[in-house]
């Protein structure tokens, strides 16, 4: 038994990082509880284990009496004098007992308690070593693949868990594969132990990868303000600099893209957009969609929605695969973003203008002499073309108006909107 116990000491020290003194104390406490729960009910007992030899010593203190009524606590005078001839009734004497005398039930109790105490000791080791490292990158080897694609990753002294939901579906792993991941959390388990949780899908995983590649981030000159991610497909990261001489985007991208390429390689060619941060959501929005030109933007404060109008040819790029680009940008600025094609927007406005032109509002038939925010020469050319009332203007499309008056399409669209809004404001 001593050899077996010594082997346990060495294994737990080497593989689990649990100190021998901690293991010895746990076993002593467990055996003490077992002794008190055993058939003999030994209450006055002390148990010690030699950490070097694994020798177990159990000493029971018993009172010397003429007639023994409680064997667990008393010893007869004759039996006591065999150990100490000078003892007397009423004295207490230490007697060495065998742990075998604890009984079968006590042995079961001891095994359970020892297992629990060792789990607690292992949990303390895990907390001590890994709790302060949450948010760091850590590497290991896949030792098992469990249910729902959960990976068990060997970190050395500890096995960590990488749940299937915590790494992109585009990634596949097998036993023996090397894994680099974010140390996401350390959690208590149901059996009293602790578990290290890893993640490769969390946005902070990308942040940690950039921290590894970009010295300016570690120095605090460049700051990652926010990261949003659709793991396996796209990441958007907003950065800023405390030094006007340092370009935060350039620092993260690196010379010829060297830094960002290393990160992209680790996330299996996931698309990464590094953009300059701004406190102004509209500027941040523009940066996030660059180089796409935003033709119009309207913010509904009550619904917290920004509606964008863009050129038709830019629509696929700004939407992104399965709407990822728009969805991530919404998360980045904290406002829902809706995107519409310019052609659809103009059709809708044309319909609204023509519907308004059909109304019986007398203001629609008043003469147009002046339109605020529009150059008077432009107004004169519109009147000269026969569009001398709001009703006549609202019955044509921007394309038709531009063609008939030689003004730009943008100017025609702006003019028609000013007229429409002017009529609507008069109604209210």
Choose the final residue of a domain: 63, 92, 127.
127
What is the rounded distance in angstroms from the CA atom of residue 197 to the CA atom of residue 184? 6
Span 35-44, pLDDT tens digits: 776 545 566 7
Arithmetic mean of pLDDT, 171-195? 87
Percent of the chain topping pLDDT 90: 36
What's 106's domain CATH number? 3.30.1480.10
In a domain, 263, yes or no: yes
Please say which residue of 74, 95, 127 terminates a domain: 127
Question: What pLDDT shows up at residue 41?
Answer: 52
Of residues 109 and 30, the one with the higher pLDDT is 30
Q: Greater confidence, 107 or 283?
A: 283
Is 240 within the bounds of a domain? yes
**What's the Rg (C-alpha) of the chain?**
39
Q: 394 and 367: one domain?
A: yes
Same domain, 14 and 118: yes
Q: Determine the pLDDT at residue 37.
A: 66
Mean per-residue pLDDT over the chain, rounded: 84
> How much is the average pLDDT of 187-204?
84
Give a yes or no: residue 14 inside a domain: yes
Instruction: Name the E strands within 146-219.
Output: 151-154, 159-162, 178-188, 194-199
Q: What is the mean pLDDT of residues 6-32?
A: 74
Assigned token pair, 217: 């981030």
- Is the pLDDT confidence value at 330 over 90? yes
Residues near 30 by beta carbon (within 8 Å), at least 6 away in sequence:
109, 110, 113, 114, 117
Task: Please give the residue that has the higher pLDDT: either 425 or 399.
Answer: 399
Q: 94, 112, 127 — which closes off a domain?
A: 127
Tell me if 348 is assigned to some domain.
Answer: no
Query: Is position 19 within any domain?
Result: yes
- Sign for the pseudo-dihedral over CA of 361, 365, 370, 373: positive
Is residue 213, in this structure, part of any structural domain at all? no
Q: Do 338 and 223 fall into the same domain?
A: yes
- List the one residue out of 47, 48, 49, 62 whose CA is nearest residue 95: 62
Q: Do residue 278 and residue 338 come from a single domain?
A: yes
Residue partners of 35: CB distance under 8 A and separation at least 6:
42, 45, 47, 58, 99, 102, 106
Q: Are residues 80 and 179 in the same domain?
A: no
Number of domains in the chain: 4
Residue 332: pLDDT band (50, 70, 90) is very high
Q: So what's the pLDDT on residue 265?
A: 95
| DSSP 8-class letter at 242 | S
Alpha carbons 252 and 240: distance in angstroms, whole number:
10
**Residue 111: what pLDDT?**
65
Give start and end residues of each alpha helix (H) in 52-162: 77-81, 104-130
Domain shared by 8 and 121, yes or no = yes
In a domain, 353, yes or no: no
Q: What is the pLDDT of residues 277-304, one digit of tens each?
A: 999 989 999 999 988 888 888 888 888 9
Owning domain of residue 257: 219-342
Asked whether residue 53 falls in the same domain as residue 169, the answer is no
Q: Are residues 24 and 79 in the same domain?
A: yes
- Read off the pLDDT of each residue in 394-417 and give the average, rounded to a whole number: 85
Q: Is the pLDDT at 72 greater than 80, yes or no?
A: no
What are the C-alpha distances in Å from 427 to residues 145, 236, 360, 364? Answer: 69, 45, 12, 11
Residues 373 and 422 in one domain: yes
Residue 10 has pLDDT above 80, yes or no: no
Q: Cβ of 95: how many Cβ atoms within 10 Å?
A: 15
Strands (E), 257-357: 271-276, 294-300, 305-310, 336-341
**Dihedral sign (CA 97, 98, 99, 101):** negative
**Residue 363 shares a structural domain with residue 380:** yes
CATH, residue 323: 3.30.300.20
Residues 172 and 286 in one domain: no
Shared domain for 47 and 120, answered yes or no, is yes
Tokens 């004295």: give the residue: 91
In-domain check, residue 207: no
CATH number of 421's domain: 1.10.150.20
Four-residue CA torsion sign, 13, 16, 17, 21: negative
**Beta strands 222-230 and 151-154: pairing type?**
unpaired
């Amino acid at each position: 038994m001593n050899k077996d116990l010594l082997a346990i000491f060495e294994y737990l020290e080497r593989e689990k990082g649990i100190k021998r003194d901690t293991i010895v104390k746990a076993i002593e406490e467990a055996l003490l509880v077992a002794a008190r729960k055993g058939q003999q009910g030994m209450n006055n007992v002390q148990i010690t284990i030699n950490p070097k030899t694994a020798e177990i010593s159990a000493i029971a203190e018993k009172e010397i009496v003429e007639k023994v009524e409680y064997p667990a606590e008393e010893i007869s005078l004759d039996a006591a004098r065999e150990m100490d001839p000078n003892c007397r009734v009423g004295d207490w004497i230490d007697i060495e007992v065998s742990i075998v005398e604890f009984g079968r039930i006590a042995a079961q109790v001891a095994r359970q308690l020892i297992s629990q105490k060792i789990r607690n000791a292992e949990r303390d080791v895990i907390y001590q070593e890994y709790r302060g490292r949450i948010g760091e990158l850590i590497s290991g080897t896949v030792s098992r693949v469990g249910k729902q694609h959960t990976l068990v990753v060997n970190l050395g002294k500890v096995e960590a868990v990488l749940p299937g939901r915590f790494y992109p579906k585009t990634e596949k792993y097998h036993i023996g594969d090397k894994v680099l991941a974010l140390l996401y959390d350390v959690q208590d388990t149901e059996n009293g132990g602790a578990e290290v949780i890893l993640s490769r899908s969390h946005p902070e995983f990308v942040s940690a990868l950039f921290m590894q590649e970009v010295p300016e981030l570690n120095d605090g000159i460049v700051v990652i303000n926010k990261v949003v991610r659709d793991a396996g497909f796209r990441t958007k990261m907003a950065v800023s600099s405390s030094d006007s001489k340092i370009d935060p985007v350039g620092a993260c991208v690196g010379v010829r893209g060297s830094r960002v390429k290393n990160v992209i390689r680790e996330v299996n060619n996931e698309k990464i957009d590094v953009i300059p941060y701004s406190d102004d959501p509209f500027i941040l929005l523009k940066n996030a969609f660059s180089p796409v030109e935003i033709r119009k933007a309207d913010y509904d404060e009550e619904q917290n929605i920004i509606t964008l109008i863009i050129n038709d040819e830019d629509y696929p790029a700004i939407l992104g695969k399965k709407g990822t680009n728009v969805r991530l940008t919404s998360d980045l600025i904290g406002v829902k973003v809706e995107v519409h094609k310019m052609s659809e927007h103009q059709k809708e406005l044309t319909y609204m203008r023509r519907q308004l032109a059909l109304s019986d509002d007398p203001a629609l038939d008043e003469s147009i002499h002046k339109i605020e925010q529009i150059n008077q020469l432009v107004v004169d050319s519109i009147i000269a073309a026969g569009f001398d009332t709001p009703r006549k203007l609202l019955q044509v499309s921007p394309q038709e108006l531009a063609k008939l008056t030689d003004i730009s399409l943008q100017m025609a669209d702006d003019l028609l909107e000013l007229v429409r809004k002017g009529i609507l404001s008069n109604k209210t």
